[in-house]
């Protein structure tokens, strides 16, 4: 598989490690068969995939969003899916969560929807449990837990 990516910061280490190619977003959308979004939600990423961006994608392409719902204009995506202007989508996040039962996405056969649990693998759940145990162990010993939230927290 050819890996294309876009980010606000070019990552030459990732390019070398994964044999990935950096591209501007419009070119990435035009060329990709699968577009997978992994971005935080902020003022720059809100609506980053809208009607204009979807129109750049191949009709045979799939959009996958596991980041945050509002990074994709859900109404525009629904329209493109209904009109078969993109082949399909895999969504783990939505504008409103849980997704309302009357949402048009639920009626489409070219979309796979999961209830914001895409990362809930056995491995990820085990890693979270181990991290929690490590934090508790540090606290019981009077040490600063390694994974404080918020990260700016002062000494324990």
Q: Which residues are catalytic?
A: 68, 97, 116
Q: Give the CA distances from residue 75 to residues 47, 98, 133, 147, in Å, rounded to whole numbers and listed in that order.
A: 11, 16, 42, 38
Residue whose tokens read 């890996």: 3
Tell me whether the omega of the peptide bond preceding residue 150 falls within 30 degrees of 0, making it cis: yes
Q: How many residues in the chain?
A: 156
DSSP state for residue 106 in the 8-state scheme: G
Give the 3-state secondary structure of residue 125.
Answer: helix
Alpha carbon 131 to its chain's center: 23
């Amino acid at each position: 598989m050819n890996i294309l990516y876009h980010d606000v910061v070019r990552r030459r280490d990732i390019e070398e490690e994964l044999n990935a190619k950096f591209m501007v977003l419009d070119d990435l959308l035009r060329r990709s068969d699968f577009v997978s979004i992994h971005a935080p939600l902020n003022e720059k990423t809100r609506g980053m995939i809208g009607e204009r961006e979807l129109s750049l994608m191949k009709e045979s392409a799939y959009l996958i969003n596991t980041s945050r719902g509002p990074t994709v204009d859900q109404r525009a995506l629904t329209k493109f899916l209904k009109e078969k202007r993109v082949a399909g989508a895999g969504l783990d996040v939505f504008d409103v969560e849980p997704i309302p039962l009357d949402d048009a996405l639920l009626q489409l056969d070219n979309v796979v929807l999961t209830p914001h649990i895409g990362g809930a693998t056995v491995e990820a759940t085990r890693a979270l449990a181990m991290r929690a145990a490590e934090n508790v162990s540090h606290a019981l010993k009077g040490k600063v837990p390694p994974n404080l939230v918020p990260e700016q927290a002062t000494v324990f």
